[in-house]
Chains A and B, each alone.
Chain A
Amino acid sequence: MTSTETAPVATDVVLRITGMTKRFGATTALDGADLALRAGTVHALVGGNGCGKSTTIKVLAGVHRADAGRIEVAGSVWTAAGYDARAGRAAGLRFVHQDLGLFPELSVAENFALDAGYPAAGPGISWRRLHQRVAGLLEAYEIDASPRTPAGALRPSQRTLVAIARALQDQERDQQLVLVLDEPTATLPQHESQLLLDAVRRRADRGQTVLMVSHRMAEVLSVSDDFTVFRDGRTVATLAGVRPTERQLVDLMSGTATGAATQPAAASAPAGPATAEPAVLEVAGLVGGPLRGVDLAVRRGEIVGVAGLVGSGRTSLLKTVFGQHEPVAGSVRVDGAPAAPGTPARMAAGIAYVPEDRGGEAAFPDLTLRENLSATVLRRYWRPWGMARRRERAEARGLIGAHAVKAASSEVPFAALSGGNQQKAVLARWLRREPQVLLLDEPTQGVDVMSRGDIYRTVRDVAAGGCAVVVASSDLIELYALCDRVVVLRDGRIATEVSGSQLTPDHLTELTQSTAGPVPAPGGTR
């Protein structure tokens, strides 16, 4: 900490929201929510899927206008109607959205300049001054990169940090900026997110104020000073300067006192399939992209996890099995028969794939929820006289109920669903095909703690019904909770495999990290 800066007074509130209400048609997203952010703290905003967290942030960013309420930032007060994006920015709010908004092929320096402008040197650009300034910022944010590195070449946590540093780059003056992050770690693997949160924590220790949304309770608890809990658009708890337990937070979020939902009951999981069951999915010698010869067999009713570092080829493996990538060598067999190439053929063979990048690879944002749900089964509804809309709608409603998707109706545009509810709908879209082989890539990202248990239960039921399930996840607790067996991908091959009593989060952490140097095992408290 520099000597010119004194520790922030922990009691002054820099951002205060009171009685915020926001309706979308018949849906009430926010119903008189309150939030108070103390200067120099990391403040976690938590709550179940669709409780209004993102809506709050979008109101602060000026994307939506609230119907009622009061917003107070750094001493200036607005009514809901008088607040807009410019007001928030002038008052010092800075946002980093989940897609970061970086241009991967441009250099880090250019990414900074596109936001703040290029320093001029006569009629041209002073690259020297730009690189100097950016190098200073990179150092301040502990980003291990040169200003000339393309942003896309950075590792995931560093990319997020670049986006954060860029958002805060005009913080030179006396003004205190407030950093707002909506699920910054949802798509990051565990230790990447740890790196990111450590860096955020260190900024906060030097006086940075941060508002953060996350569904990962362990993370939130490790980094935050204060907590605000939302439920159904209302603030149900504000915990300033006290450290709740995970169970207390979950109880507040769900409004029940069971607290058991968060414990992924691995012990209660069915004992897995008998070893006599035949292999449904057989992958042999798969080469292509980062894969250098993967062999994997998954039996009927078995849930196999795929662990590995970023870039180890987890997603490539699933996508190749799903026919998105043509392998250079190797074979994929389903039920003993070689699967024809191409996704349509693989789907016909009974393979289903829930992709990792929900917004980019799963969503049809402007189509309705119903159309998103039917995208995998369109032919079922075709009659010579047209699509059987009535039946389609009824079945969509059934799925919405069965998978607890929170939506006003089956006819809302998909983009109007909250992140976690979109994820549930994507899962539903594939499960309705009753697949033989279910490939899941980060299946619970953005899903709240309560629903996570529901999804695990659903996946187990599907497996019990005879499906072979492959789960790629960077959340090792998830793999521990869900899988009968976990394989570890390293350097494009399956390096090891663990099952039975060997399958513990700590052991998994050890195995995945073993080539990447020692990293303290986060989570894994059991």
Chain B
Amino acid sequence: MSLTNTETVATAAGNAAAAPPADRRGGGGSWRGHAERHALLGLLVAVVAFFSLYPDSAQTFFTSSNASMLLGNQSVVALLALAVILPLVTGYFDFSLGAVAALSSVLTAGLMSFHGWSLWAAVAVSVAAGAAIGAVNGLLVTRFGLNSFVTTLGMATLLGGLVQWYTGGQTILAGIDPALPQFGSATWLGLPRVVFIVALATVVLWYLLAHTPFGRRLYAIGSNPRSARLVGVRVDRSAWTTFVMAGALAGVAGVLQLARAGSATADNGTGLLFPALAAAFLGATAVVPGFFNPVGTIIGVLFVSVSVSGLTLSGASSWASPVFNGAALLVAVGLSTYLGRARGVRTG
């Protein structure tokens, strides 16, 4: 297949797992519809219950300190996962978002440390840089019709290199405005403050995707871009916008990363991207099965992180986390495809 912009991730998780014949969203659905919508949430509860009772982890797992740490640490992945679903809804991958977050983290630290910029200026420039990178990706993919998979993978590699060059491979420790790490470790109502940023982003995205004409058009593009064009949707512009928004959101995730860690390491962001992708695809099997959606994504993030945390606390080694993330991604993609086939809806 040539490098066109017609690759459809929507087929991977989107339309493959389209809806059951019965009522799909809200309202009284069929038994099966209900079971499917809430399966992932049920699984999450089951995993929490299991590790709370499992002898090896029972002491440490179900404690408020573990919960607080877990939520705080996952906030970066969660923001990134929310960013990832934006282009995915319209049928495009953006693999550069992990690198964008890494770059934003390093840039925020570097601008303060190397150039003495104020915190706010550094944050603003980093987030804007994320948006700009998204704009470039979006332009290449929509206007010039390059394959989003390859384009954004190339961008990710390029950004990883830039990060190395900018930091000289060193971790940036000194010269960071202490207000940022303080915010990163502060709590509010017993929860890390960063969690509220994630919650805010989730609500905003949920509103945008499910409750505005703009969001509905994005799902229409994901379903069939040619039909979307013929009902008056500006397909390229809308898809481009999702890349820009995703880039900016990944930029915020990078700042959050710096706030949590207190220092910026020269990293290419892959370690962030894959859990985020796994969460996004898992999320597409929940809440609105068959469609990438913010609430499902957050449940996906929690499911992956709670499972990994439980495994770690019960003594599994460091390989457990990537193995689990990878397996979750495969299962999520497989499950959504299977559900689609089982219903006999177009299986692409």
A interface residues, Cβ below 8 angstroms from B: 24-27, 58, 63-64, 322, 324, 343-344, 347, 353, 355, 360-368, 371, 374-376, 378-379, 381-382, 385-387, 389, 408-409, 411-413, 415-416, 429
Contacts and interface: CB of A to CB of B under 8 A. Distances in A.
Interface stretch (B148-156, B194-202, B230-238): B230-238
Given A366-B15, A366-B346, A409-B23, A378 B213 contact: yes
Secondary structure type dominating chain B contacts: loop
Contact of B231 (A360, A366, A376, A387): A376
A386 B21 CA distance: 25
A64 B10 CA distance: 23
B115 interface: no
Contacts of A361: 226-227, 230
B19 interface: yes
A499 to B, nearest CB: 30
A386 B232 CA distance: 21
Interface stretch (B24-32, B72-80, B256-264): B24-32
Contact of A63 (B18, B228, B344): B344
A302 B217 CA distance: 33
A24 B343 CA distance: 8
A387 B216 contact: yes
**3 tightest A-B contacts by CB?**
A366-B18, A366-B15, A25-B21
A386 B207 CA distance: 7
Interface residues of B, number: 37
A390 to B, nearest CB: 10
Given A366-B15, A409-B23, A413-B19, A25 B30 contact: yes
A343 B19 contact: no
B161 to A, nearest CB: 37
B229 A366 contact: no
B22 interface: yes
Contacts, number: 111
B230 A368 contact: no
Contacts of A374: 216
Contacts of A347: 232
A344 B345 contact: no
B223 A387 contact: no
A236 B230 CA distance: 40
Contact of A343 (B26, B216, B230): B230
A9 B107 CA distance: 82
Given A344-B232, A353-B230, A376-B232, A24 B19 contact: no
A193 B228 CA distance: 30
B87 to A, nearest CB: 18
19 contacts: A25-B21, A25-B22, A63-B344, A344-B234, A361-B227, A362-B230, A365-B346, A367-B220, A368-B25, A375-B231, A382-B212, A385-B211, A386-B207, A386-B210, A387-B213, A408-B21, A413-B19, A413-B24, A416-B345
Contacts of B220: 364, 367, 371, 375
Give the one of A343, A411, A429 with max B CB within 10 A.
A411
B130 to A, nearest CB: 28
Contacts of B230: 322, 324, 343, 353, 355, 361-362
Contact of B227 (A362, A381, A408): A362
Contacts of B234: 344
Nearest to A360: B226
Nearest to A375: B231
Give the one of A24, A347, A366 with max B CB within 10 A.
A366
Given A362-B230, A365-B346, A413-B345, A25 B224 contact: no
A465 to B, nearest CB: 22
A11 B19 CA distance: 45
A368 B211 CA distance: 16
B310 interface: no
Contacts of B231: 375-376, 429
A429 to B, nearest CB: 8
